[in-house]
Structure 1
């Protein structure tokens, strides 16, 4: 019995030790799992909504740069086409002038022949039909009258102008073709950016899209409050529920000059229209085109591009912003809008969203403001 009892006691102690070891192992595993779950070195999965928001902001900046380059190319193209038209008119007039001078010189040569009793050097040069030979041989002409010398010199000058005009036409044609090619490439690249932006949104669920809009609206409201506090302005309406779009304010109650109010009224009337590359209305506009036309309606002539508008206006601080002031964005100045008041501005945003009202952000993209009129 004693032996059996002792064996049972040993066996019991061994069993209890086994259970303790098992419990300790399980507890350790739990503790290790807990520690692993709160490991400060572990990285959380990236937030797809924040990723989408950041990528869309990058694409907007890249697209704005392309838009400004496209507008600059269009401006150069327009000027080159006007130069070409002017050069073509000049060529016609100059060709007629040179032809008339050649006939007049022919008559002088004939007179020289009849009075001199022979074919002079002047006659041979003029009647050769080779203007180049005529001009190169002028230095050898010794027996022409003073009047003939003057006519020949005039002819030489006009012939040089004709040649210069032809060269200018060739240069205009080359510029036009280069700018057309440049515009086509920019447009193709921009369409790729637009497609990428669409893909970014398509990858989000409906719930994630709604959350993205909510975050963008919250960020916009916070930014608007900051801008209003800096400028001492008043709110110009609240965003539409669930859309992050500002209601169109009444510009007549916002202050600013009468010209600024006129320009702002026109710009606000374009809200909802399409963004058009190189557009100056009436069906659509690009960002600087909208500003140029709006201020043009108010009797103020603005340059064509955002960068040129930035350089032409009078600098305005954020604390002094008034309705009608132009606000500029991105390094290099590649986007422009018109301040409304209450931290908001109207602009031709991009092909994805068209002409709309947005909130002026004081971080990153905003570069400065300018006043006209």
Structure 2
């Protein structure tokens, strides 16, 4: 057979060729994986300390969102009360207006029935001219009162329209606050879910390192020391906080059996007869600012540059606070978080 018509014989792959082909195959697979969005990329292994650091950051971000949620809820609740009050007032005024309209309608109908007779004819037909003249004067005075009643009704109509307009505006504000509420609620839940997912990687021992445990106290081991409290209100607030030790952290909660950080301080001072606003951002302005070096038991202590966490100072460099969902209300050193400021309420 001529050489031009012979089929080429397949050549066997040498060791070097096999290695080259394998390398090309691996490179191709890596390229596909990269183009596929890194689906095969394994999540980096984190040490327990790194996991705890990420969890702490997520909790802090969740607390920022929680305070925004609390603020939006406070405003939404206020807007709802305003809407209810405006609608109730509009309803009440409308009932009163309808009653006045009925009276005016009766007077107008009566005048229409008698209005066709000329006053001079009525005088001629009257058996007693003096009596007629007395009635005429009375009718004139009634007419003046009727005119005033009409003016009053017109004013009521304008005011009711204004009330309804205000109610509509407040309803729009309420809808916006509810939308903000839901947005922050989703953010909180997302952050907390991610924190739980990370914590599930750790054993119970790894989740809370020994040094951090030394500053904590449970309801059963910690006794209230009120001797250093400067006044009765501070004592009452601190006493309440001690009574809340061991209660779970629940974002958005203000007691009586669960709290978030600002919910705990608000409830503590409510027990002392002092009304605090709902959020950390507002609570820090509830009294004069106090330098860290001049702290007294009962002062509110705030943390992080975002002013997203608050505790109740109890003296000795310690506070009672509601930390996060991984820990109950407890005693802790104020130096365990970045200090942002303090406020004296009582």
Q: TM-score, normalised by structure 2?
A: 0.71
* 1:160 aligned partner: 158
Contact (CA 8 Å) 1:288, 1:304: kept in 2 or not? yes
Hey, what does 1:231 align to over in structure 2?
A: none
- Mapping of residues 1-373 of structure 1, within 5 Å: 48-117=47-116, 146-204=144-202, 209=206, 213-214=209-210, 216=212, 239=215, 248-361=222-335, 365-373=338-346
Count of residues in Structure 1 that have an aligned counterpart in Structure 2: 279
- Matches of 1:146 and 1:244, distance apart in 2: 78
Alignment gaps of 5+ in structure 1: 1-44, 119-143, 218-237
- Deviation (angstroms), 1:244: 11
5+ residue gaps in structure 2?
Answer: 1-43, 118-141
- Residue deviations 1:215-258, cap 9 Å, x none? 545xxxxxxxxxxxxxxxxxxxx536xx9999534222434322
Distance, in Å, in 2 between the alignment partners of 1:314 and 1:325 is 10
Q: CA RMSD in A?
A: 3.0
CA offsets per residue over residues 73-131 of structure 1, 9 Å max, x none? Answer: 2211221232233223212211111101211221332244245329xxxxxxxxxxxxx
Normalising by structure 1, what TM-score? 0.66
* Secondary structure, counterpart of 2:305 in structure 1: coil
In structure 1, distance between residues paired with 2:219 and 2:98: 67
SS of 1:350's equivalent in the other structure is coil
State the alpha-carbon separation in 2 of the partners of residues 47 and 195 from structure 1: 18
Moved more, 329-338 or 105-114: 105-114
Which portions of structure 1, spanning 4 or more consecutive aligned residues, are displaced by more than 4 angstroms? 243-247
Quote the Cα distance in structure 1 between the aligned partners of 2:221 and 2:215. Answer: 6
The answer to whether the Cα contact below 8 Å between 1:338 and 1:345 also exists between their aligned partners in 2 is: yes
Partner Cα separation in structure 1 for residue 220 and residue 52 of structure 2: 19
Q: Is the 8 A contact 2:250 2:325 kept in 1?
A: yes
Give the conservation status (yes or no) of the 8 Å contact 2:58–2:191.
Answer: yes
Q: Distance in 2 between matches of 1:206 and 1:315?
A: 39
C-alpha distance after superposition, 1:23-54 (max 9, x if no partner): xxxxxxxxxxxxxxxxxxxxxx9973442243
